[in-house]
Amino acid sequence: MPGRLQNKVALITGGNSGIGEAAARRFTQEGAKVAILARRETEGRAVQDAIRAQGGEITFLPCDVTDRAAVEAAVAQTVATYGGLHVLINNAGGGAREMFPAESDETWNRVVGVNLTACFLTCRAAWPHLIKAGGAAIVNVSSLAAVSGVSEAVLEKFPTLPSASYIAAKAGLEGFTRYIASLGGPHHIRANCVRPGQILTRRLTTAAGEHVFARHFEIWQLLKGPGYAEDVANAMLFLSSDESRFITAEMMNVDGGAAAKL
C-alpha cells in the first residue's frame, strides 16, 4: 500500500531532535523523501543514519534557520537532491528562561529569530517550489503559549515558564500562517499550525523533571497522561497529507485538551 506521503518531498526544520525528529521518522515511514535542517551536526547525522538504516530516504543539511543565505542554500539543495518540494515543516524553535522585564534584547532577538523570522525565510525561499508542486502544505509549529498568556493561574501550571519573546513569536507565527494561507490558496498551497501543549520530549523532562509534567497532566489537561513527540508528528502528518486537502489557516491543538481549560 502506498504511504500517505508517497512521492512527496518534505523539508523539516529542527529535525535532529524532539518533535522534528519524530516527524522525520514518521514522514519517511509514509514514503516521503525528507530533508532535515538544524545546527548540531552530530545529532543531525545520527538521526539521518538511523532513519536510513530503516530504509527511509533522508538527508541532514546543517543550517541555522535564522541565516537567510543558509536557508536559501538548504532549500535549493533539497530541491536539487529530491527533485521538488511539497511539504514545509517549520518546527525549529525554543524559548528562554528570562522573564519580562528582565529579558535582554539579545534573548528577544534570538527567540523571535528562530520561532518567527525563520519561518518567513523558509517560506520565502520555498515559495516558488511550492507553487511549482501544484499542491503543497506548510505546517508551522506554534505552542499553547501563543494563546495562554501568563496569568497567575498559568504561571502556576506551566512546568517551564514561557518568555515574552516566545509568546509573542508563536502568536506572530499564527498570524503569519493565516497570511500565507490566504496567499497560498489560489496556488493550492495550504498553511496550518499545530499547537502543542506540554510534550514529553527528552529535553524538557531533563530541564523540568518528570514530576512537574505529572502535575501538569493532572491539573491542566482533560486527558490524564503525557503527550509525546509522536502525537505531534501524527498531527503534522495529517496536515501535510492530502487527507487534509480542504483544511487551511487552521490552528490545531495537540495538547490533551489543555486549551479547553484556559
Ligand X SMILES: NC(=O)c1ccc[n+]([C@@H]2O[C@H](COP(=O)([O-])OP(=O)(O)OC[C@H]3O[C@@H](n4cnc5c(N)ncnc54)[C@H](OP(=O)(O)O)[C@@H]3O)[C@@H](O)[C@H]2O)c1
Pairing assessment for the beta strands 33-38 and 57-62 based on DSSP bridges: parallel
CA pair distance 238, 4, nearest whole angstrom: 9
Q: Rounded distance, CA 87 to CA 237, Å?
A: 10
Give the number of other CB atoms < 10 A from CB of residue 73.
14
Burial of 237 (0-12, 13-18, 19+ CB in 10 A): buried
Three-state secondary-structure class, residue 160: coil
Q: Which amino acid is at 243?
A: E
Report the C-alpha gap between 125 and 247 in whole angstroms.
23
Torsions phi, psi for 140 (to 5 deg): -105, 140
166 is catalytic: yes
Residue 141 or 164: the one with the smaller Cβ distance to ligand X is 141
Selecting among 82, 166, 179, 228, the annotated active-site residue is 166
Q: Can you give the binding site for ligand X, defined by CB under 6 A?
A: 13-14, 16-20, 37-40, 43, 63-66, 91-94, 114, 141, 143, 196, 198-199, 201, 203-204
In this complex, which beta carbon is closest to ligand X, that of residue 143 or of residue 244?
Answer: 143
C-alpha cell at 261: 481549560
Least Å from the CB of residue 15 to ligand X = 6
Q: Judging by DSSP bridges, how do beta strands 33-38 and 136-141 pair with one another?
A: unpaired
- 3-class SS at 206? helix
- Shortest spacing between CB 143 and ligand X, in angstroms: 4
Nearer to ligand X, 20 or 184 (CB): 20
Positions marked catalytic: 166
